[in-house]
Amino acid sequence: MSDRPADVLVRNAKVFTVDDARPAAGAVAIGAGSISWVGDDGEARAHAGPATIEIDAAGHTVMPGVIDSHDHVRLGQDPEAIDLHGVRTAAGVRDRITSWLADHPGAEWVEGEGVAYEAAEGGGLADLFDATATGGRPAFATTYDVHNAILNRAALERFGITRDVDRVAFGHVEKGADGAPTGVIHDFAVMGLERAGQAALAAVVPAYSDDRRYQRLLHSLDLAIGFGITTVVEPQNSVDDLPLFERARREGRLRSRLVAALFHPPRTPDEELDAFADAATTYGDDRFRAGPIKLYIDDVAEAHTAAFFDPYAADPSTNGELFYEPGVFAGVMAKLDARGFQTFTHAIGDRGIRTALDAIEHVQRVNGRRDARHQLVHVECPDPADVPRFAQLGVVPCMQPRHFAPDVALQWRDDVGPERSRWAAPWRSLARSGARLAFSSDWNVAEMDPMVGIYTAVTRADLRGDGAWNTDETVDLTTAIRAYTMGGAYANHVEDRRGSITPGKQADVIVLSEDVFASEGEPMALLETRVDVAIADGRVEHQRDHTG
């Protein structure tokens, strides 16, 4: 214990430390960016000095700062685009477009994000943005999961996409029965968010200009610290994107720690790995680090592009597809592992998940087993035989609870079918098997607020408390919070210095507006819980305004 008075002293608290050596406490002292003392509230005054900032937690929960292990802060939410998240009817989409155009009469493009697949109501997604709805303007939008782009006829013309074009820099062109493009561009998350795809979009669509991209990032970073997210893992970036984060840091806008994963799409040349390694060296400190590698083995269930063993219930003609042949993917993984990279692999369907696990097993045979902590991201529907393999192989399942709220997973359940849905997002089964869960938001696919994720993890209900399903796979409140703190720290190799309120660790601490454990039997209270104070690296970076 230091004799130096604390810089910050949090008192009158219900401290959930996430430290098994001392699970609970009443106060926390912080000095020089670290946690200097954890103990009983009655002993806290001994750590105060004249310059100490004292924070009265009012008997509410104090916990480690949240580690959001998969949060697209760079892609984020564009305040200038139409927000269509949660709009599930064609009429609702058109109403939003009409309202937006009334506020933006001079807009050259109609730009939207968050389109629900079911909003098409049996028609085409691009029909939502036809000439009548957009006043003849070109329209560009993304589905809620950002895995598909939507272009109306005018936008197809701007990009020169005709029936003779099968592929553009930002995805694969869907064709109708007549051979004409439907306006849907598949594989957008894989191709549209890499360097060539971003350049092609920026040349045509205003939303992808450098200024708009930076403003999206700043908006997301401000949200993150306000939600108590003191470490953000941005899961998909090119080397060219990294200066955006450095600019935010230089301008004092990067208040959370940030880890930037580098995107390795199929056919990435070997020389790009040298650029990845150089970036990891250039951006390698504890505030902003680059280095993990993001890959895809399959795509998404709602577009029937996630890889399953058996056909889709909603479309028996397909069972999805892999981005790599299994042997090729195993070789890619072995090469990355041999160079010391940690990998984050997007894996949704049972066939995709098994292919990724088989690849990691191959890696351990040929390279030897090391403490790599390779992650599979999403893990939406594993085969039950593969659930124990996560712990056996030391693979971290990085999962997003809100994706499996009933209102969000409605079409997913229809597509996958009832038999496989029993294994949808098996959080409890994975935790019981010994896997180290890391939870995350997947913003802006879902809300960034960790309390929404925690609520969903313990209920699997919608935000009204209705429709709970597959409740055998819920987890308790303690497990959910651990997955957002120590689970994320472990997943990202920082459990020695983050993830718990332990003397000597970095002072990433948040004060909530409620005692969440007092209302553990009433999970709806989690949705009313806010972050009153967020401390990152020992600095008070956010204090909630109670006057609004």
The full DSSP string for 420-479 is: HHTTSS-HHHHHHTT---EE---TTSS---HHHHHHHHHH---TTS-----GGG---HHH
Model confidence band, residue 198 (pLDDT cutoffs 50, 70, 90) = confident
Which of 529, 528, 306 is closest to 416 using CA atoms? 306
Bigger pLDDT: 443 vs 191? 443
Model confidence band, residue 1 (pLDDT cutoffs 50, 70, 90) = very low
Q: Edge-to-edge, what's the strand order for the sheet holding 14-16? A: 24-25, 14-16, 61-64, 509-512, 531-536, 539-543
| pLDDT tens for each residue of 369-398 | 999 999 999 999 999 999 999 999 999 999
Q: By three-state DSSP, how is residue 342 classified?
A: coil
The DSSP output letter for 8 is E
The amino acid at 530: R
Model confidence band, residue 164 (pLDDT cutoffs 50, 70, 90) = very high
Mean pLDDT score, 111-136: 90
Kindly tell me the burial class for residue 315, based on how many C-beta atoms sit within 10 Å of its own C-beta (0-12, 13-18, 19 or more): exposed
Looking at the domain that runs over 210-491, which CATH code has it been given? 3.20.20.140
Distance CA 284, CA 245 (A): 13
What integer best gives the mean pLDDT of the chain?
95
- Tell me the CA distances in angstroms from 246 to 195, 238, 278, one per residue in order: 18, 14, 15
Which of 129, 130, 178, 181 is closest to 159 using CA atoms? 181
Kindly report which listed range (2-11, 193-202, 363-372) carries the lowest average pLDDT score: 193-202
Residue 377 β-bridge partners: 346, 398
Q: By three-state DSSP, how is residue 385 classified?
A: helix
Task: Give the number of C-alpha atoms closer than 13 A to the C-alpha of residue 143, restricted to the C-beta side.
Answer: 26
The whole-number pLDDT of residue 506 equals 98
User: Cβ of 82: how many Cβ atoms within 10 Å?
Assistant: 23
**Residue 547 pLDDT greater than 60, yes or no:** no
| pLDDT tens for each residue of 307-336 | 999 999 999 999 999 999 999 999 999 999
The whole-number pLDDT of residue 189 equals 84
Residue 149 β-bridge partners: 142, 185
Q: What length does the chain have?
A: 548
Kindly tell me the burial class for residue 528, based on how many C-beta atoms sit within 10 Å of its own C-beta (0-12, 13-18, 19 or more): exposed
Mean pLDDT score, 24-36: 98
Q: Edge-to-edge, what's the strand order for the sheet holding 34-39? A: 34-39, 27-31, 8-11, 53-56
**Residue 61 pLDDT greater than 90, yes or no:** yes
**Residue 504 pLDDT greater than 80, yes or no:** yes
Distance CA 429, CA 406 (A): 19
**Residue 174 pLDDT greater than 90, yes or no:** yes
The whole-number pLDDT of residue 127 equals 92
**Residue 114 pLDDT greater than 70, yes or no:** yes
The whole-number pLDDT of residue 521 equals 82
| pLDDT tens for each residue of 221-241 | 999 999 999 999 999 999 999
Most confidently predicted of 74-78, 115-119, 324-328: 324-328
Model confidence band, residue 546 (pLDDT cutoffs 50, 70, 90) = confident
Which of 139, 411, 438, 457 is closest to 300 using CA atoms? 411
Buried b (16+ CB within 10 A) or exposed e, 170-202: bbbbbeeeeeebbbbbbbbbbbbbbbebbebbe
The whole-number pLDDT of residue 207 equals 87
Kindly report which listed range (67-81, 112-126, 333-347) carries the lowest average pLDDT score: 112-126
Looking at the domain that runs over 8-64+504-543, which CATH code has it been given? 2.30.40.10
Region label for 267, one of left (φ > 0), alpha (ψ between -120 and 50) or beta (otherwise): left
**Residue 120 pLDDT greater than 90, yes or no:** no
The whole-number pLDDT of residue 519 equals 81
Q: By three-state DSSP, how is residue 35 classified?
A: strand
Q: By three-state DSSP, how is residue 141 classified?
A: strand
**Residue 214 pLDDT greater than 60, yes or no:** yes
